[in-house]
Amino acid sequence: MNPSQTHRRARILLVLGTILVIGVLIWLVSAAVQKLQPPVDEDGSITVVMCPACEQAFHNLLREGGDIKCALYDVGEETGAVLASVNANVITDDKTNAAYGEPILGAALMHHKFCVINSTIVTSGSYNPTDGGEKGRNNLVIINSPTLARNYAAQFDAVRDRQRRGAEKPLVYLGPRDARIPIENYFCPADGCEGHVVDVLNQAKTEILFMTFSFTSDAIGDALARAQARGVNVEGVCDERQSRSEKQYSECAQLNAMLWDATGRGILHHKVFIIDGTTVVTGSYNPTASGTGKNNENVLIVTEPVFAAAFRREYNDIRAQAIE
């Protein structure tokens, strides 16, 4: 290689290195700015509906809405007809056979399950509104919050435009002033969902319960193992068929989780962690490598005992029917 070629290669490497450093700095500044954002206080409410009641609750909300934007992984004919009747703006994943909506092309999944209704109400959770989707074990979270609605509406626009973006206001305190409910909202992969789940698990003092469809995240599995080591009661239930197909990578076996047999009663489709009976992690995010780094996902972390109690009742019912 002659000197001119060597110098040219050195210049190219220098430019590439500079671009990389600038990119890292932009990411660090963006993350720092997000953390420095003051939390939002506003009136509002949050509730959860467990399937099979989730389908009717979802349809009722859609019929009452006017301006509706939905990012839904898959849509069945029944829900598609309701969405069409209210002229909802819907995007879906291109790898499904959605009955209604615009498919979003891409190698990663458009795995969201949310709607924004009248710029004030957000629906999220694990529920896919497919024909029969309500027969699985799922949750539908309903939040009245203009701030979170703006977060999700911006996410809808970003996904539709094939862009990645995090939550504009990741922390909202919702409800009456004497009983504010902290709600954290993150979008994967931009917000690093795995890290936020690990953070809340690391704060557990007495108990962590989990209900998961697919669970292969080493970081989250390690966080649960550390919690066990410091005396926290850790237990959970995983979907049997999914755990069997992921046997080599699943965290369920090493955590001695019980298994849910879906035969005749639908899959265990929750993506839920319940911490100390007060905090719930839910949303569309499966704790997996794809859920963390590739797919379009959303996470809610809610700290409120009544909300958590609804998930605890669901967990108790699932565990009572699970197998060793």
pLDDT digits (tens, 9 = 90+) for 238-271: 999 888 877 778 999 889 899 999 888 899 999 9
Instruction: Give the residues across from 238 on adjacent strands.
Output: 212, 259
Instruction: Give the residues across from 270 on adjacent strands.
Output: none
Residue partners of 98: CB distance under 8 A and separation at least 6: 72, 74, 75, 80, 92
Indicate the pLDDT class of residue 39, thresholds 50, 70 and 90.
Answer: confident
Residue 14 has pLDDT above 80, yes or no: no
The pLDDT assigned to 29 comes to 44
The pLDDT assigned to 18 comes to 55
- All domains of the chain in start order, with CATH: 41-321 (3.30.870.10)
The pLDDT assigned to 254 comes to 87
The pLDDT assigned to 107 comes to 83
The average pLDDT across 75-96 equals: 98
pLDDT digits (tens, 9 = 90+) for 121-179: 999 999 999 999 999 999 999 999 999 999 999 999 999 999 999 999 999 999 888 88
Q: Which residue has the higher pLDDT, 67 or 32?
A: 67
Q: Strands, E, within the chain: which ranges?
A: 40-42, 45-50, 68-72, 89-93, 102-104, 113-117, 121-125, 139-144, 171-174, 181-188, 207-212, 233-239, 258-260, 271-275, 279-283, 297-303
The pTM is what?
A: 0.87
Residue partners of 225: CB distance under 8 A and separation at least 6: 254, 255
Indicate the pLDDT class of residue 33, thresholds 50, 70 and 90.
Answer: very low
Average pLDDT, the chain: 91
Indicate the pLDDT class of residue 227, thresholds 50, 70 and 90.
Answer: very high
Residue 13 has pLDDT above 90, yes or no: no
Supply 101's token pair.
């909506």
Residue 23 has pLDDT above 60, yes or no: no
The average pLDDT across 91-111 equals: 95
pLDDT digits (tens, 9 = 90+) for 298-308: 999 999 999 99
The pLDDT assigned to 27 comes to 43
Q: How far apart are CA 319 and CA 233, in angstroms?
A: 15
Residue 32 has pLDDT above 70, yes or no: no
The pLDDT assigned to 15 comes to 52
Indicate the pLDDT class of residue 83, thresholds 50, 70 and 90.
Answer: very high
Q: How far apart are CA 154 and CA 134, in angstroms?
A: 27
The average pLDDT across 190-203 equals: 98
pLDDT digits (tens, 9 = 90+) for 43-54: 899 999 999 999
**Cα–Cα nearest to 300, from 101, 145, 134:** 145
